[in-house]
Amino acid sequence: MDLLLHFSMYKGNAGMMMEKEVSQVIELAGRGSGHVEYVPIGVAIIANICESVDLHDRIVESPLFEVLTEHIHNDNTNVQMHVIRALMLLSLSPKYHHVILTTGAMANVCPIAMTERLSIAMRANALQMMAAVCATHPTTPTATDVIDLMFLICNSMENVDIRRAAALVIANASSDATNLVKANLAHKPYLEALSIAISKSQDSVLVDYLMQFFHNIVANTDAVVRATLLEEMIFSVLTDAWVVYLEAGFCYHADSHQEFVLQGGVRLVIQMYTKSKVEHVRLCCLLCLLYLAETGHSQRSIAQEKAVRHGSGLDTFSAFMFSDQLQLQQLGVYLLQNLLEFRENRRIFLALSEEKKCEEDYLESLLRLLPRVSTGQPNRIKAMKKDGKDKGEAEPILTKHDPFVLRCCIHCIALLSLEHHLGSFQRFVDLGLNKLLFDLFYSEQIDKSSGEAVVLFFANILHSSKQIQAQIMKGADVVQLLLSSRDMLFSPHTVSRCLSALLCISRVPDFKRVVLSHLDLLMADINANLNAEVRDEHFYQIAALQCALLSELARASYEYHERMARAGMVEALLVFITIAGKGLHGEVCIELLMGSVFGIAALVGSPTSGEHSMASLIFPATRMQLLLSLLRLPQEDINEAFHAGTVGLRTLQRVVYPNITPEELHVDQMDLLGFIGNCPIKPANFIYRNVIRTMCLLLAHHEMGPRVQQAITPSNVVPTCLFAMSGCEDTYVQVYGFLLVANFSRDRSLLYNFLNESGVINELLTTIRRSGPNASQPEDPVPVKDKLATVTGPWSSVAVSRNRFMLAMSALTNFAEPLAFD
Q: Classify residue 257: in a domain, yes or no.
A: no
Check residue 162 and give its pLDDT: 94
Domain of residue 507 covers: 341-382+399-517
Q: Does pTM surpass 0.75? A: no
Rounded Cα–Cα distance for residues 550 and 516 (Å): 10
Check residue 742 and give its pLDDT: 86
Helix pair angle (797-821, 731-744), 10° resolution: 20
Rounded Cα–Cα distance for residues 35 and 540 (Å): 80
Q: Classify residue 545: in a domain, yes or no.
A: yes
Q: Classify residue 75: in a domain, yes or no.
A: no
Q: Are 188 and 196 in contact (CB under 8 A)?
A: no
Q: Classify residue 57: in a domain, yes or no.
A: no
Q: Classify residue 673: in a domain, yes or no.
A: yes
Check residue 772 and give its pLDDT: 62
Provide the 3-class DSSP secondary structure of residue 606. coil
Residues 814 and 690 in one domain: no
Residues 373 and 506 in one domain: yes
Residues 681 and 751 in one domain: no
Q: Classify residue 271: in a domain, yes or no.
A: no
Residue 503: CATH number of its domain: 1.25.10.10
Check residue 819 and give its pLDDT: 59
What are the 10-residue block averages of pLDDT along the chain, 822 residues in total? 72 75 79 76 86 85 86 85 90 88 89 91 92 90 91 91 93 85 80 78 79 80 66 51 62 78 81 70 76 76 61 75 86 89 89 85 90 62 45 65 93 94 93 92 90 95 93 90 90 93 91 91 91 89 94 89 90 92 84 93 88 87 88 86 84 84 64 73 90 89 82 82 85 88 81 78 84 56 42 64 85 74 48
Residues 513 and 626 in one domain: no
- Domains of the chain: total: 3
Query: Considering 466, 490, 517, which residue would you say is the last residue of a domain?
Result: 517
Check residue 788 and give its pLDDT: 39
Check residue 377 and give its pLDDT: 47
Phi, psi (rounded to 5 degrees) for 447: -75, 175
Check residue 214 and give its pLDDT: 81
Residues 352 and 427 in one domain: yes
Q: Classify residue 632: in a domain, yes or no.
A: yes
Residues 489 and 449 in one domain: yes
Q: Classify residue 631: in a domain, yes or no.
A: yes
Task: Assign 3-class secondary structure to 420-432.
Answer: CCHHHHHHHHHCC
Rounded Cα–Cα distance for residues 435 and 432 (Å): 6
Residues 561 and 480 in one domain: no
Provide the 3-class DSSP secondary structure of residue 398. strand
Provide the 3-class DSSP secondary structure of residue 769. helix
672 φ/ψ sector (left φ>0, alpha ψ -120 to 50, else beta) = alpha
Residues 484 and 544 in one domain: no
Element (H, E) at 743: helix 731-744
